[in-house]
Each structure stands twice: as structure tokens, then as C-alpha cells.
Amino acid sequence: MSSTIEANVAQPTPTPGTPFSGEARRQVKGLLGHAIVAPALVLSDVVLATAVWEMIFAVQQVFGHGRLSIVSVVGFFPFVVAWVGLRALSGLYPGYGMGQVEELRRQTLALLTTLAITAVFVLASHAEDTLSRLMLFGCSFGLLLAAPMARYGVKYLLMRMGAWGKPVVVLGAHESGARVLRALRRELQLGFKPIGVFDNHLAPAEGEIEGVPYGGTLTDAINAAKERGTETAIFAMPYVRRERLARLVSLFEDTFRHIVVIPNLDGITNSAVVARDFAGTFGVEVEHNLLNPWAQRLKRTLDLVATLVGGIFALPLIAALSLLVWAESGGSIFYADQRLGRDGKLFPCIKFRTMVPDAEDALRRLLKENAAAREEYMRYHKLRDDPRVTRIGRFLRKTSLDELPQLWNVIRGDMSLVGPRPYLPRESEDIGAIQVEILRVLPGITGPWQVSGRNGTTFAQRVNMDARYVRDWSVWLDIVLLFRTVWCLMTRSEAY
């Protein structure tokens, strides 16, 4: 096997003492706690389930419907076992390589399946005294909300300890390989820690790619994997001919238990892609969920329910902010700007007024007179130090509270809670042909760009994020983006 691969060797195998070998030793040392990951996740789930059960039982006691007994404790034990067991069968222990959307989907399905199995068992065995309906549904609802957050917290602690993650090798040192490395560095929850990049034909002059050491040829990847117990290889070589890639994958199957192949399908596939076997012919099915009328109805229902419930709690805050906006500069409190909606139809996007009057005229004068500001605006379509913004306006923008009035746009049906950015009509030409895909759906108050660098991203990057959101949409993705938006608002200060 080695001789076949070595036929294309272009670089020598690193010798002990090279930067690669030293870095690899540090990586392996950091992964010594890997064995505690799965037990830690299981233990945290058991503790969480117990805590939720005790909380629901305490609520039951307050209303005089609960009485602690060995029967009630024993009745809850099968529920926890079934829940943890189904999570294990779903691959959540530890769940390496699983994105947040897929992880949330599997967690929810495991819980709903547990609820269904337990309910059927209780009804069939007439064991309502052992596990009441209030306890069963209360615990299920509590875990539905708490389990994803608790899992994220445990994973964060494991990351800080250096225990989360497993070593992987990346095969391919071109741009595709660099893109994979950037993605793994950005999405740490995936748990893939690259120990080296390998390629027969390209060696970087600086000895590393995206901070990961270059390890040599594909043969060296096999040697490194055997020495360090690496089970996963990522083929980031879409430029290689299909026949040769198939041979390489076949050769590496003896060494790597998991092989991930990055295909040359940029702009085509999405997170809903499904592999299909057509009588021995491999196919990829791509489904655009948002084109499904039932999916659109579900998204609209979730928008209305969440907006009406959340809007009730937000009303005092909206009233207070309205008073502050009026007190600083008088005049109108809200600002309605024409934006591109679904199918390109214009609608008035409502925000708190954060700028001085005649802001558009002031912008035109500024861009005409200031070359640096003009270049910044061309790149980001925003200005970090915008002289038109008021003092309260800076606070509202920094916290993104200026977008709270858009809840009315959601109720009206002009916008969704989550979706692409509501673009300005004058930005249509800059968006390009991809706007046909983006404008298939309602724009959102929040979306992928708000949780992926926010104003640090270029305009072109935001457009690509929005197009990918439309292709990738699912209920789980919206939930993840909403939680990530809250987290970003609490921890970041990039908005301006």
C-alpha cells in the first residue's frame, strides 16, 4: 500500500524534532483527557434529568399533588435510562463532527421518542401512580429547554480543559484544505482537531497552513495516524480526478476508521443533503425545505407565536427606549426605511430612529468628500464611526435594540424572526444574480450574518451567508440562530 502512494511523493517525511512533530506531541498531550468526554456528558445528562425531576416534583408538592415515595422514584428511573440510551443511539456521546443544527435535531427527537415510549408504557401498565402525567410532561418540557444549554456548557468546560475533541488529519494543502481548517477552527464544537496537513504536491514555504503544521506526503499521514491513534481523515482534494480519489480512499480505509470526502459541490449542496444509492450509483439528493408550503406555514406559525409572546414582555422596554429617543432629539421616534422583501417587493422596515434628520443627504455628502469613508462603505455598506448617529442611537445599534420595532413587521407578515438581511433597494445591483434565491423568503430580524462576525464581515460574505441560509433552512436552524443571537448580544460588542 505504501509503495503505491509513495510513487507521487514530493516532500520527505518530517524527522523528529521538526515543528510538526513537536506540535503533534502537544496536540496529543492535550487529548489525554479524551476518555472522560463521553462519561462526562452522560453524567451531566443524568444529573440534569434528576434536577428537572426534583423541580417538577417540588411544583407538584406546592399544589398538593405530590408525595415523595419509593414508587415515584423507581417510576422515573426508566425514563432517564431510556432518554440517555436514545441519546447514545443518536450518536450524541460524544457527537464529534456533528453541527449544532443536527445536534439539536437529534436531541429533540431522542426526547420526544422517550416521551412517547414512556407514555405508552405508563398507559399500558396502568402505572399512573408511579409516574404521573404532570411529572412526565413537565420533565420532558424542562429537558427540552435545558438539555441543549447544559450540553453546550459541559462541552465548553471540556474545551477549557483540553479534553474535548479528537485528532484528525487533513489531506489537501490547496485552498480547499485551508477552507476546511478555517471551518474547524471556527466551529470548535465539532470536536475535530487537525494535527497536520498532508499533500503530495504542495508544501507551504512557512511550514504550516492556517496555523496547522504541514506534515509531508500522504504516506506521512498514514504514519502519523498509526503513531498517534488518529481515526479520522478529511480528503479536501476536490481537484483530484475521481478515479485517483477513489483509489486513495480505498488505500486509506485500512488506516482510518472514518473518512470524510469534501466534494466539488460548492453552492449546490446544503445541510439537508441526503446520500442516495441508485442500484450501485451514488447520488446526492438536495432538498430546499423553504420551498415546501407546509414548511413555510410552520415557520410563519412559529414567528407569530414567538413574536406575540415575546412582544408582551418587550413592551415596557420599547416604551422606555421610545422615551429616550424622543428626549434626546425630539421628532419622530421610529424610522421606516424601504427594504426588499419576498420576491423583491418593497416594504417599510421599522426601526428606532438612531440618526439625525436628513441622514441620507448627509451620507451622500460624506462619501463624496471623504475617500476613506467611501472605501469603507463600498466594502461593508456601513461606517464604523458614522457622524450621523446620535448618542442614544449608538447605544441602540451597539445592543441591536434599534431593531425591536421590527416585531411589528413580523406580525404584519413583512418579515420573519430569522431570515436573510432586509436589503436596501440600492444594494440590489451589488447582490447580483444570487438575489433571486435570497428573495424567495421573508427577510429576518436576525440571521446568519448577525451570529457570524456581524459587521466584521464584508457585504459579499453576508450575501453568501444569506443564500446558504435559504438552502439550509430548517426549524432547528432557526432555533440555533435565535439562541446564538441572544449569546452574541450578551457577549459581543461588534455592532455599530
Question: In the chain, where are the structural domains located?
Answer: 35-161, 165-264, 293-354+389-491
Question: Do residues 236 and 196 lie in contact, with contact meaning Cβ atoms separated by under 8 Å?
Answer: no
Closest C-alpha to 415, from 351, 472, 319, 462: 351
Model confidence at 348, in pLDDT bands (50, 70, 90)? very high
Closest C-alpha to 491, from 404, 398, 384: 398
Instruction: Give Cβ neighbours of residue 35 (< 8 Å, ≥ 6 apart).
Output: none
Three-class secondary structure of residue 209 per DSSP: strand
Distance of CA 194 to the CA centre of its chain: 20
* 246-261 average pLDDT score: 86
| pLDDT the model gives residue 266 | 65
- Range in 41-50, 90-99, 142-151, 487-496 with the lowest mean pLDDT: 487-496
Q: In the predicted model, is pLDDT for residue 471 greater than 50?
A: yes
Check residue 469 and give left, alpha or beta (phi > 0: left; psi -120 to 50: alpha).
Answer: alpha
Q: In the predicted model, is pLDDT for residue 409 greater than 90?
A: yes
Model confidence at 397, in pLDDT bands (50, 70, 90)? confident
Distance between CA 412 and CA 425 in Å, rounded? 20
* 261-279 average pLDDT score: 71
End-to-end CA distance of the chain: 57
Q: In the predicted model, is pLDDT for residue 81 greater than 80?
A: yes
* 194-201 average pLDDT score: 85
Model confidence at 177, in pLDDT bands (50, 70, 90)? confident
Model confidence at 83, in pLDDT bands (50, 70, 90)? very high
State the amino acid at position 244 in one-letter form. Answer: R
Q: In the predicted model, is pLDDT for residue 379 greater than 80?
A: no
| pLDDT the model gives residue 224 | 85
| pLDDT the model gives residue 117 | 87
Distance between CA 461 and CA 373 in Å, rounded? 20
| pLDDT the model gives residue 396 | 87
Q: In the predicted model, is pLDDT for residue 21 greater than 50?
A: no
Model confidence at 111, in pLDDT bands (50, 70, 90)? very high
Tell me the CATH architecture of domain 165-264.
3-Layer(aba) Sandwich (3.40)
Distance between CA 165 and CA 173 in Å, rounded? 22
Which ranges of 19-99 would DSSP assign to H, the alpha helix?
19-30, 37-62, 70-89
Q: In the predicted model, is pLDDT for residue 275 greater than 90?
A: no
Q: In the predicted model, is pLDDT for residue 372 greater than 80?
A: no
Model confidence at 8, in pLDDT bands (50, 70, 90)? very low
| pLDDT the model gives residue 3 | 40
| pLDDT the model gives residue 106 | 93
Kindly provide the residue ranges of all beta strands, DSSP E only, lying in 64-123, ordered along the sequence. none
* 340-345 average pLDDT score: 90
- Range in 68-82, 98-112, 164-178, 200-214 with the lowest mean pLDDT: 68-82
More confident residue, 247 or 270: 247
Closest C-alpha to 224, from 214, 211, 210, 236: 214
Distance between CA 438 and CA 188 in Å, rounded? 28
Q: How many residues does the chain have?
A: 496
Distance of CA 111 to the CA centre of its chain: 21
- Range in 125-129, 199-203, 216-220 with the lowest mean pLDDT: 125-129
* 251-278 average pLDDT score: 76
| pLDDT the model gives residue 416 | 94
C-alpha cell at 121: 408504557
Residue 12 DSSP one-character state: P
C-alpha cell at 444: 429576518
Q: In the predicted model, is pLDDT for residue 13 greater than 70?
A: no
Overall pTM > 0.95: no
| pLDDT the model gives residue 23 | 46
Distance between CA 7 and CA 219 in Å, rounded? 10
Q: In the predicted model, is pLDDT for residue 14 greater than 60?
A: no
| pLDDT the model gives residue 147 | 94
In DSSP notation, 58-72 reads HHHHHTT-----HHH
Model confidence at 202, in pLDDT bands (50, 70, 90)? low
Distance between CA 379 and CA 457 in Å, rounded? 9
Instruction: Give Cβ neighbours of residue 482 (< 8 Å, ≥ 6 apart).
Output: 417, 418, 446
Distance between CA 213 and CA 236 in Å, rounded? 16
Distance between CA 466 and CA 118 in Å, rounded? 41
Q: In the predicted model, is pLDDT for residue 118 greater than 70?
A: yes
Instruction: Give Cβ neighbours of residue 474 (< 8 Å, ≥ 6 apart).
Output: 101, 105, 271, 272, 289
| pLDDT the model gives residue 278 | 76
Share of the chain above pLDDT 90, in %: 23
